[in-house]
């Protein structure tokens, strides 16, 4: 009996220490925003550990379904970031991204996902501090919002 009490206490202690932490999934273009994240790391700038980075060749590669899937698979927030307008290494990829992300924002709103859970930014390879600010701001907002739960229809 004493062993059971000890085991229960251990589980309780573990659950108490497993406080919720947000997951911020970030699609970063290889040439600018990913390099900006690298610079932040190399410069030892502290940013929230909520971020999980997926490197994409260009922000123009990201579509609304990729953002939705991230939420469906447990992200609490999604960030899409690429090169500044005019700096895309594939000339017009970030224009495509800009248009798609406007549509994405409307779709997310239509299905009831809070606006603050999604952000689209331009961060260059030299903007490590901006990357740090964006990650920290967004992570703080996600902590305020709390965990995200996608409402599933009864047919799923």
Distance CA 148, CA 78 (A): 11
CA 24 to chain centre: 3
The residue (of 51 and 97) whose beta carbon lies closer to ligand FES is: 97
Q: What angle do CA 132, 49, 93 make, to 5 degrees?
A: 55
In the complex, the smallest distance separating the C-beta of residue 141 from ligand FES, rounded to whole angstroms, is: 24
Measured from the Cβ of residue 87, the count of other Cβ atoms closer than 10 Å reads 15
In the complex, the smallest distance separating the C-beta of residue 101 from ligand FES, rounded to whole angstroms, is: 12
The residue (of 22 and 60) whose beta carbon lies closer to ligand FES is: 60
The residue (of 59 and 139) whose beta carbon lies closer to ligand FES is: 59
In the complex, the smallest distance separating the C-beta of residue 130 from ligand FES, rounded to whole angstroms, is: 15
In the complex, the smallest distance separating the C-beta of residue 14 from ligand FES, rounded to whole angstroms, is: 42
Distance CA 115, CA 1 (A): 51
Q: Under the rule (CB under 6 A), what is the footprint of ligand FES?
A: 29, 31-32, 58-60, 82-83, 88-90, 93-94
Measured from the Cβ of residue 145, the count of other Cβ atoms closer than 10 Å reads 14
């Amino acid at each position: 009996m004493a062993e059971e009490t000890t085991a229960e206490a251990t589980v309780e202690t573990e659950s108490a220490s497993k406080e919720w932490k947000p997951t911020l999934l970030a699609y970063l273009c290889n040439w600018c925003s990913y390099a900006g994240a690298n610079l932040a790391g190399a410069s030892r700038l502290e940013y929230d550990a909520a971020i999980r980075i997926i490197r994409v060749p260009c922000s123009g590669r990201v579509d609304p379904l990729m953002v939705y899937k991230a939420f469906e698979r447990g992200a609490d927030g999604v960030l899409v970031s690429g090169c500044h307008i005019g700096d895309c290494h594939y000339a017009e990829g970030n224009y495509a991204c800009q248009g798609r992300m406007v549509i994405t924002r409307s779709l997310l709103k239509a299905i009831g996902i809070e606006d603050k859970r999604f952000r689209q930014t331009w961060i260059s390879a030299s903007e490590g501090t901006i990357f740090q600010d964006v990650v920290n701001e967004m992570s703080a907002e996600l902590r305020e919002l709390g965990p995200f739960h996608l409402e599933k229809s009864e047919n799923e």
